[in-house]
Amino acid sequence: MIGFRGDLKVLVASRPIDFRRGVHGLVRDGGAGIGRRSLLRQCVCLQSKRKDRLKLVVWDGSGMVLVTKWLEDGAFTFPLFKTARLF
């Protein structure tokens, strides 16, 4: 069973990522220090260029969890960021 802590913080990426990456590529190349220690109490939400898909990356204490959601119609609405940084 995959369980998440009640104090889990959700970080939303400010720009799209390459969705061909798997969990290892996201952790390795995701920028902004995505790693096991930084994800212990964090969930990182990553968006696709078309904004119809998102990926959530979480460290649950025993391994990485990668969740992918695709919308058949419509798009996700993401907050607007004024910075060029990834997070």
Domain ranges for the chain, please list them: 9-69
Banded model confidence at residue 4, pLDDT cuts 50, 70, 90: low
Enclosing H/E stretch for 69: strand 64-70
pTM (global) more than 0.85? no
- d(CA 17, CA 82) in angstroms, rounded, equals 17
Contact 75, 52 (CB under 8 A): yes
**What local confidence, expressed as pLDDT, does residue 35 receive?**
53
Backbone torsion region of residue 31, taken as left when φ is above 0, otherwise alpha when ψ lies between -120 and 50, otherwise beta? left
**What local confidence, expressed as pLDDT, does residue 9 receive?**
82
**What local confidence, expressed as pLDDT, does residue 23 receive?**
82
Diameter over CA atoms, the chain: 38
pLDDT tens column, 5-57: 677 888 888 788 888 888 877 776 554 455 555 666 788 888 888 899 999 88
